[in-house]
Structure 1
Amino acid sequence: MGFGAVLAVPEFRAMWTAELLSVCGDQLARVALAVLVFQRTSSAALTGLTYALTYVPSLLGGVLLAGAGDRWPRRDVMIAADLARAALVAAIAIPGVPLWVLCVLVAVLTALGGPFKAAQQALLPTVLEGERYLVGMALRNVTIQGAQLAGFAGGGALIAALTPSAALALDAVTFVLSAFFLVTGVRRREAVDRVVRPAWLSATGAGIRLIWRDPALRTLVALNWLAGFYIVPEALAAPYAAGIGAGATLVGLLMAADPAGSVLGGFVFGKAVPEHVQVRVLGLLGIAAGLPLVLFAFRPGLVVSVLLLATSGLLATGYNIQGTVSFMRRVPDGHRAQCAGVNSAGLLTVQGIGAAVAGVLADVGNPAHTIAVAGAAGAAVAVPVARAWRRVRREER
């Protein structure tokens, strides 16, 4: 089955287009924030902290708010989150906003991404059934990473030509367009638990317990959360570029390297590698994704750095696509949004923590060595995760 088969599904096409627009704007905004804060402060620690705020508050949004996608129509939750985020980004784009106000707005913006993504991931298996779901997830990965690539690479050039505030204003427009495509292209379905709605905290706890008690779900979550180590090169792109005498344009190029590798990985693992092979090597791919980053210990030049980051992104894509598909297939529909929210919230939170810690370490040492340490640590943590996945598969045979 090819990508055309899933694009022929009108509802998926609308969701895909909405997400594509939103991701382009988000990546452009991340470049703008990194450049803006580093221009104001000249501090790698504050740059890493601000970048972390585009991830960490998802813990609140993903855990406490993700259940909205099980309690109310999932399309409605996505539209409401889009419109609220458009308003917040518009406020961030106002020139001269104090740094602390900017940080608060970014934190709230990030928290609202939790219920949006949880509702979206819970709705996708309904819109795409059977084999279409895996192919659709592969297509999403290719296009989303392509959008990140365009947002990062083009973002650096655009910000150099315009201003960070103008780039943030464009991000607000993408959220409005995303909501428009959802309204016009996705059918409204009733909430999954519209008959019996458990207490909010009770439902949240049920999702967490469901993941914790299932060894397979627990292992897949741990595998997904390795991104906390592998986000470090993106978080340190601005100080790393400054250390080699590069400007804002090359900051975007460094940030785009990982998504570029992921685009290639989406084609490789979405069309060329059989699903049963992907399932078997999930853990090994988690280990391998960290190894290219270790070579930053030798302070490679710009070209080699881009190639290493792209290789890491390609390998990480292999376990990301199949890991997410395996996770969502194992979760009952009534808990899909909540469990997807917990998984995504943890993912974004560990990425934010990784970005913040990396910024502090880079101030103490240097960005290149910090990236190498993050790659080595990620590969080391992936070893017991890979062993746990092998045990799960052996017990299920």
Structure 2
Amino acid sequence: MARRWWRRRVLPPGRRGRCADGSPRRRSGGGPAPRADRHRRSATRPAGLTQAVTQRTEAAGVEGRRLFHRDFSFWYVARSISVAGTAASAVALPLLVYRTSASPTLTAAVVGLEALPYLLFGLFAGAAADRLPRKRMMITADVCCALLLATVPVAALFDALPSWYLLIVAFGVGCAFCWFDAAAWGTFVRIVGKPALTRANSLIWSTEIVLEIAAPAAAGLLAAIADPTLVLAVDAATYLVSAALLAQIRTGLESGPTVARRLRAEIAEGVQHLWRTPVLRTLTAAGFGLNVAAGGVLGLLVVHADQALGLRPEDQRLGLLYAAAAVGSLIAAVLLPRASRWAGQGTVSIVGLVIFVAALIGLAGTSAFTLALAGWAIWAVARLTVNANGITVRQLLTPDALQGRVNTTGRMLAWGGTPFGALIGGLAGDTYGVRVAYLMLAVPVVLSLALVVASPVRGLRIAVD
């Protein structure tokens, strides 16, 4: 009489579905033996195997989830709403400063002051994100940004809005963003899981860039028709909505139990991981050079539109320049995953740096509005490609327990070039004009390109999924 499946002897994991000699068991029809009912087999699974599976599941965290689960949806919507408001403010704040001061240096200083907090507090924020509640850090930062931005339209109502106050607001928003971003790196990896990082990053960047296409154009139109302070009031509201959505996330966002250590030791651990990994070290240094140029270029966008293209700050077409840059970033976000798989992350960085230099030279030489639109789009393709590629590589090569420290340290050093670029660009714009300033800002990118070509990054290729 044939032996029934529920009476079979339970075999070790490596022997199930095999005969005594180790060969695969076959059915009489030639196919493989039917699998036993999973629920019944799990009940007879050896204790050691069950414990191993449990540990593996816990270690994987959320990595086994589909991308659009509940918590990622809250994260995705919160970030999208916040980005829309921030993209609008990126137009409104420089416009307000340029209107009140007519100074290229002060206008460029807006971008520099927003990035400066990363240099001052980045290491501490990264260490704090790996030991403090990450969700609470993000919500607190969102609320602080909302309160700061709300003071601008209130001050405008009382006709008390000098340029120096706008620079203070820019610095305060940068401080809040620094602490938010430190926590966000760790939570993002926890919510998405490393196997889905490239897909999730591409989706988030694509969505953000679509919003950055519409928001600056709408902000420029609203600022021309009404007042830039109204744009900042809307941005303040988006930060509050973002905080409310983040509060709904249920996934455990902490890195797990940690041994209490001195803050200096935790900071040193993140810095050491970044420094001892040659690929991360090189990409961080190259990112610094790239963002020196980006800080100056973005800081002088309003000045470039005025001096090179003949667009006054009240011109509604000014928002289209920001929108063109967002279109280029969207193209880069869509193509980046495919380009990384096809050519490798190293080649992607090299090509992006070359395109960045070419686009910047083109912007310095043109006076035509349509050519400037194309130049900004191409420049943005290169900028996002290099930055996003570096971020993804850093996420992939960093353990979860170090995500906050390593990513914040890397971003602090790479993005730390932004205030220097804003200062250099502003001073060069005041002294030599915006065209010469743009050509000067291409130099650090050329140096970054030489560094990447001479390093192990040149042949870098990481299998993502």
TM-score, normalised by the number of residues in structure 2: 0.78
The Cα offsets for residues 320-352 of structure 1, whole Å up to 9 and x where unpaired, read as 333211111111211110111112223333122
Cα distance between partner residues in 2 of 1:82 and 1:346: 23
1:194-232 deviation per Cα after TM superposition (whole angstroms, max 9, x unaligned): 442322233222212221122111012123331221343
Q: Conserved in 1, the CA contact under 8 Å of 2:275 and 2:281?
A: yes
Find the counterpart in structure 1 of residue 311 from structure 2.
246
Larger radius of gyration: 2
State whether structure 2 residue 104 is matched by structure 1 residue 44.
yes
Query: 1:17, CA displacement in angstroms?
Result: 1.2
Distance 1:51 1:322, change over 3 A: closer
| Pairs within 5 Å for 1:183-262 | 183-184=247-248, 186-189=249-252, 191-192=254-255, 194-225=257-288, 226-243=290-307, 244-247=309-312, 248=314, 249-262=316-329
Measured on the aligned residues, the alpha-carbon RMSD in Å equals 2.3
- Give the conservation status (yes or no) of the 8 Å contact 1:261–1:313: yes
Which amino acid is 2:78 matched to? Answer: A
Deviation at 1:162, TM superposition (A): 1.7
Is the 8 Å Cα contact of residues 364 and 436 (structure 2) preserved in structure 1?
Answer: yes
Aligned-partner Cα distance in 2 for 1:165–1:10: 35
For residue 279 of structure 1, what is the amino acid of its counterpart? Q
Equivalent of residue 127 in structure 2, options 54, 59, 67: 67
Partner Cα separation in structure 2 for residue 88 and residue 188 of structure 1: 29
Tell me, yes or no, if structure 1 residue 21 matches structure 2 residue 81: yes
Query: What is the match of residue 56 of structure 1?
Result: 116
Check if 1:147 corresponds to 2:214: no
TM-superposition CA deviations, 1:178-203 (whole Å, max 9, x none) = 0111112x225263264423222332
Q: Pairwise mapping of residues 15-164 of structure 1 onto structure 2 (< 5 A)?
A: 15-94=75-154, 95=156, 96-164=160-228
Q: CA deviation at 1:145?
A: 2.0
Separation in structure 1 between the aligned mates of residue 352 and residue 242 of structure 2, nearest angstrom: 33
The question of whether the paired residues in 1 share the 8 Å contact of 2:428 and 2:437 is answered with: yes
> Is residue 299–residue 368 contact of structure 1 (8 Å, CA) maintained in 2?
no
Give, in whole Å, the separation in 1 of the partners of 2:265 and 2:152: 35
Q: Which residue, 384, 392, 400 being the options, matches 1:325?
A: 392
Unaligned runs of 5+ in 1: none
Report how far residue 78 of structure 1 moved. Answer: 1.1
Q: Which moved more, 1:239-248 or 1:113-122?
A: 239-248
Structure 1 runs of 4+ aligned residues shifted over 3 Å read 389-394
- Structure 1 residues 63 and 257: CA distance shift in structure 2, 3 A: farther
Matches within 5 A, 1:289-304: 289-304=356-371
The code of the aligned residue for 1:213 comes to: R
Q: Matches of residues 353-364 of structure 1 in structure 2 within 5 Å?
A: 353-364=420-431
Which shows bigger deviation, 279-288 or 119-128? 279-288
Cα distance, 1:376 vs structure 2 = 4.4
Is the CA contact (8 Å cut-off) linking 2:344 and 2:459 kept in structure 1? Answer: no
TM-score (norm 1): 0.90
What residue ranges of structure 2 are gaps of 5+ in the alignment?
1-64
Partner Cα separation in structure 1 for residue 340 and residue 378 of structure 2:
20
The CA distance in 2 between the partners of 1:162 and 1:58, in whole Å, is: 33
Q: Is the 8 A contact 2:287 2:415 kept in 1?
A: no
> What residue identity is the alignment partner of 1:19?
R
Residues 278 and 318 in structure 1, CA contact (< 8 A), matched pair in contact too = no
One-letter amino acid of the structure 1 residue matched with residue 237 of structure 2: V
Between Structure 1 and Structure 2, how many residues are aligned?
389
Which protein has greater RCO, CA pairs closer than 8 Å, 6+ apart? 1
Which residue type is aligned with residue 241 of structure 1? A
**Taking every aligned residue pair, what percent have the same amino acid on both sides?**
23
Q: Determine which of 289, 310, 318 is the counterpart of 2:377.
A: 310
Aligned-partner residue type, residue 149 of structure 2:
V
Q: Contact 1:72 / 1:190 at 8 angstroms: preserved in 2?
A: no
Q: Which amino acid aligns with 2:344?
A: Q
Deviations 1:261-288 (A, max 9, x none): 0101111223x43525231412332233
Q: Name 1:278's counterpart in structure 2.
A: 344
For the 8 Å contact 1:73–1:189, the answer to whether it is kept is no
